[in-house]
Structure 1
Amino acid sequence: MTSECFNTWVRPLAFAGSEDQKLNMVAPNETFRKTLMENFAGVLNRAVAEIAGSNIRPMISVAGSSSETAGNETIDPLPVVQASALEVPTVRTTWLIDQLWADRAVGVIGGGPKLGKSWLALDIAVSIASGTPCLGTFKVHATGPVLLYAAEDSASALRNRIETLARLRNVDFTKLDVRVITAESLRLDKAGDQDRLDATIALHRPVMLVLDPLVRVHAIDENVAGQVASLLGYLRTLQRRSGVAIGLVHHVKKNVSPATGGGYSLRGSGDLYAWLDSFLYLRKNHDQLILSAEHRSAPGAGPFLLELAQPDTGPHLKLLSAEPCPTRLKTDALPEKILRALSSATDPMTLEALRQTLQVRNQRVVEAIRQLSSQGSIQRTSRGYTLVGPTQLPIQIS
Structure 2
Amino acid sequence: MSNDPLERHTLEEWASIDPTLAEGVRQYRTKQISGGGEGITPANARSWTVHQLLTAEFPDPVWIIPGIVPAGLSILGGRPKVGKSWFLLQIAHSVGMGGKLFNLQLEIGKVLYLALEDNAKRLQERLKASKVPEDARIVFHTEWRPLNDGGIGDLLIELEGDDYKLVILDTLSRAVPGVDQNDPTTIGPIMADLQSLAINRDIGVLLCDHIRKPMGFAGDPIDDIISSTAKTAIADTILALYKEQGKPGAILMGRGRDIPEVNLKLQFDQSTSCWQSEGDAREISLTERRQEILD
Q: TM-score, normalised by structure 2?
A: 0.72
The alpha-carbon deviation at position 244 of structure 1 amounts to 1.9
Higher RCO structure, 1 or 2 (CA under 8 Å, sep 6+): 2
Please give the secondary structure, in 1, of the residue aligned with 2:104: coil
Mapped to 2, the partners of 1:235 and 1:132 lie a distance apart of: 26
Distance in 2 between residues matched to 1:181 and 1:112, nearest whole Å: 23
Q: Is the 8 A contact 1:213 1:250 kept in 2?
A: yes
1:279 is aligned to: 238
Gapped regions of structure 2 (runs ≥ 5): 1-44, 290-294
Paired residues of 2:148 and 2:176 also in contact (CA < 8 A): yes
Residues 108 and 279, structure 1, Cα contact 8 Å, conserved in 2: yes
The structure having more radius of gyration, on CA atoms, is: 1
Give the counterpart letter for 1:303 in structure 2: L
Q: Indicate which of 232, 235, 257 corresponds to 1:296.
A: 257
Residue 111 to residue 85, structure 1, CA distance change in 2 (3 Å): same
Kindly tell me: are residues 224 and 329 of structure 1, through their superposed partners in 2, closer, same or farther at Cα, counting changes over 3 Å?
farther
- Report the CA distance between 1:295 and its aligned residue: 2.2
Alignment of 1:67-106 (within 5 A): 81-83=47-49, 91-93=59-61, 95-102=63-70, 104-106=71-73
Give the Cα–Cα distance (whole angstroms) in 2 for the partners of residues 228 and 158 of structure 1: 28
Residue aligning to 1:152 = 117
Residue 200 (structure 1) aligned to one of 158, 166, 183:
158
Change (3 A) 1:259 1:310: closer
- Counterpart of 1:174 in structure 2 is 134
2:82 to 99, 103, 115: 115
Match of 1:210 among 168, 175, 179: 168
Q: Deviations over 1:207-233 (max 9, x none)?
A: 010000110101211111111111111
Are the aligned partners of 2:215 and 2:243 in contact in 1 as well (CA < 8 Å)?
A: no
Distance 2:140 2:267 in 1: 26
Does the Cα contact within 8 Å between 2:78 and 2:209 map onto a contact in 1? yes
- 8 A contact 2:152–2:194 mirrored in 1: no
Which amino acid in the other structure matches residue 86 of structure 2?
W
Task: Go from structure 1 to structure 2 and tell me whether the alpha carbon gap of 1:214 and 1:90 turns closer, same or farther (over 3 Å shift).
Answer: same
Unmatched tracts of structure 1, length 5 or more = 1-78, 168-172, 332-396
Give yes or no for contact 1:116–1:317 (8 Å, CA) kept in 2: no
Please report how far the alpha carbon of residue 237 of structure 1 lies from its aligned counterpart in structure 2 after TM superposition: 1.7
CA distance in 1, matches of 2:287, 2:236: 27
Aligned to 2:180: 221
CA deviation after TM superposition for structure 1 residue 320, in Å: 4.9
In the other structure, the counterpart of 1:130 is 97
Question: Between the two proteins, what is the percent identity of the paired residues?
Answer: 23
Match of 1:161 in 2: 126
**CA shift for structure 1 position 260:** 4.2
Deviation at residue 157 of structure 1 after TM alignment? 1.5
Question: What is the TM-score when the length of structure 1 is the normalising length?
Answer: 0.54
- Matched positions, count: 240
Give the AA of the match of 2:155. L
Cα distance between partner residues in 1 of 2:236 and 2:202: 14
CA drift of 1:328 comes to 5.6
Residues 214-266 of structure 1, C-alpha deviations (whole Å, 9 max, x = no match)? 10101211111111111111111211332221000001115378654222111
